[in-house]
Amino acid sequence: MKAVYFEEHGGPEVLETGDFDDPIIGPGEILIDVKAASLNHLDIFVRRGLPGIRLPLPHITGSDAAGVVGGVGDGAAGIAVGDRVLVNPTLSCGRCEFCIRGDASLCRSFKIVGEQTQGTCCEKIVVPHDNVIPIPNSLSFEDAAAVPLVFLTAWRMLITRAHLRPSEDVLILGAAAGVGTACIQIAKVTGARVLAAASSDEKLELCRSLGADVLINYAKEDLVKKVRNETGKRGVDVCVDYIGKDTWTKSLQSVAKGGRLVTCGATTGYDPKTDLRHIFFRQLEVIGSTMGSKNELLAPLSLILDGKMRPVVGKVFHFEQTEEAHRLMESRKLSGKIVIRVADND
């Protein structure tokens, strides 16, 4: 099969498109002929090299995919050859105390497709049958590939971990990125008021189209001052910050007394300076969140299929343009998700 892979860690130039061994279906597994994959910042981190994770090389990039079932392993019930499906990128054992209570991303053997395993930017992938979710004809492969990682991450952050409630104020940093656009829509469906913060007016127009109530260009405006003005000097009930070092201090200052700051990443750095007085004196909750369970993907997917939310695809690249796609993602100039068209729809 054809695949996008790297044989050494580094910049986008290390990506190659070439032949790779076809995956072999094992018991309880599903073979998918990939039609579309999408990129996430995780792909950048994996390509550059993650501390503590040593990957067998060469390594195929990508965590998200949608396509058609091409084969079914022994014991994999409920899925048939020819079904249109997307992939849940969270891999867990299904047996430990965390999996049993529905917290798959806390699993003792937790993995992400494309991080600790071979990824999705290829013509064929094999995943456990429980990670395969059927999709209707009404959802294109490109849109389907843009759903899994960002929507399950956003749902777990806002609903499961931060317990966002109707009428609360939520501030979303990096609101025009993949996770951000999912957060805006989930917050609006919940009944919250959304303060969307992004680095350009163009990105904020996208946020407006998704239902954001207050738009903040943090490249031009004082984020904390704007938040205080918009909340009667109170601050927001929930702040979503996965940008990290560049915005962390202002995020803490933007949260109301007794409020919650939730994070799922740190694209600009993982070691921000933190004034602990903001946390203990104002009794803030700082909440970590990573990925999510199958149910935390099925919930937003149901709303997408009902037309209440939508995946935001910023640009579609052809398979051979994956290096260019990585460069665009690193530039942070594009809103929404970057999708890779692996094969033509038929």
> What is the Cα 279 distance to its own chain's centre?
27
Interval 151-158 mean pLDDT:
98
Interval 148-156 mean pLDDT:
97
Please, what sign has the CA dihedral across residues 318, 322, 323, 327? positive
Interval 175-187 mean pLDDT:
96
CA dihedral of 185, 187, 188, 192, whole degrees rounded to 10: -170
Q: What is the rounded end-to-end Cα distance, in angstroms, of the chain?
A: 18
Q: Are strands 169-173 and 193-198 parallel, antiparallel or unpaired?
A: parallel
Spatial CA neighbour of 322 closest among 97, 29, 94, 2 = 2
One of 3.10.20.90, 1.10.460.10, 3.90.180.10, 3.40.50.1820 is the CATH number of 151-288, namely: 3.90.180.10
Q: Which of 106-120, 247-261, 267-281 has the lowest mean pLDDT?
A: 267-281
Spatial CA neighbour of 249 closest among 225, 266, 272 = 272
Spatial CA neighbour of 95 closest among 108, 113, 105 = 108
Q: What are the tokens at 33?
A: 């002929």
Does 212 have pLDDT greater than 60? yes
Please give the single-letter amino acid code of residue 250: K
Residue 97 and residue 33: Cα distance in Å, rounded?
A: 34
269 bridge partner residues: none
Per-domain residue ranges of the chain = 2-147+311-341, 151-288
Tens-digit pLDDT profile for residues 223-241: 999 999 999 999 999 999 9
Spatial CA neighbour of 119 closest among 177, 49, 34, 52 = 34
Interval 31-59 mean pLDDT:
93
Does 275 have pLDDT greater than 60? yes
Tens-digit pLDDT profile for residues 131-150: 999 999 999 999 999 999 99
pLDDT at residue 345, as a whole number = 61
Interval 256-263 mean pLDDT:
97
Tens-digit pLDDT profile for residues 306-332: 999 999 999 999 999 999 999 999 998
Residue 144 and residue 40: Cα distance in Å, rounded?
A: 14
One of 3.90.180.10, 2.60.40.1180, 3.40.50.2000, 3.30.870.10 is the CATH number of 2-147+311-341, namely: 3.90.180.10
% the chain with pLDDT above 90: 90
- Band of the pLDDT at 334, cuts 50, 70, 90? confident
Does 105 have pLDDT greater than 90? yes
Whether the Cβ atoms of residue 236 and residue 255 lie closer than 8 Å to each other: yes
What's phi and psi for 190, nearest 5 deg? Answer: -70, -25
**Would you tell me how many other CB atoms lie within 10 Å of the CB of residue 8?**
10
DSSP annotation of 156 reads I
Residue 102 and residue 296: Cα distance in Å, rounded?
A: 9
| 2-147+311-341 and 151-288 in the same fold | yes
Q: How far is CA 78 from each of CA 35, 83, 126, 179, rounded to the nearest angstrom?
A: 21, 10, 16, 30
% the chain with pLDDT above 70: 99
Please give the single-letter amino acid code of residue 98: F
Does 94 have pLDDT greater than 60? yes
Residue with tokens 């199958």: 294
Residue 181 and residue 313: Cα distance in Å, rounded?
A: 10
Does 344 have pLDDT greater than 80? no
| Its pTM surpasses 0.75 | yes
Spatial CA neighbour of 160 closest among 251, 295, 307, 304 = 295
- Band of the pLDDT at 39, cuts 50, 70, 90? very high
98 burial via Cβ count (<10 Å: 0-12, 13-18, 19+): middle
Please, what sign has the CA dihedral across residues 28, 47, 239, 249? positive
Mean pLDDT of the chain: 95
237 membership: H or E segment, kind and range: strand 236-240
Edge-to-edge, what's the strand order for the sheet holding 15-19?
Answer: 15-19, 2-6, 59-60
Does 185 have pLDDT greater than 60? yes
Spatial CA neighbour of 64 closest among 90, 44, 37 = 37
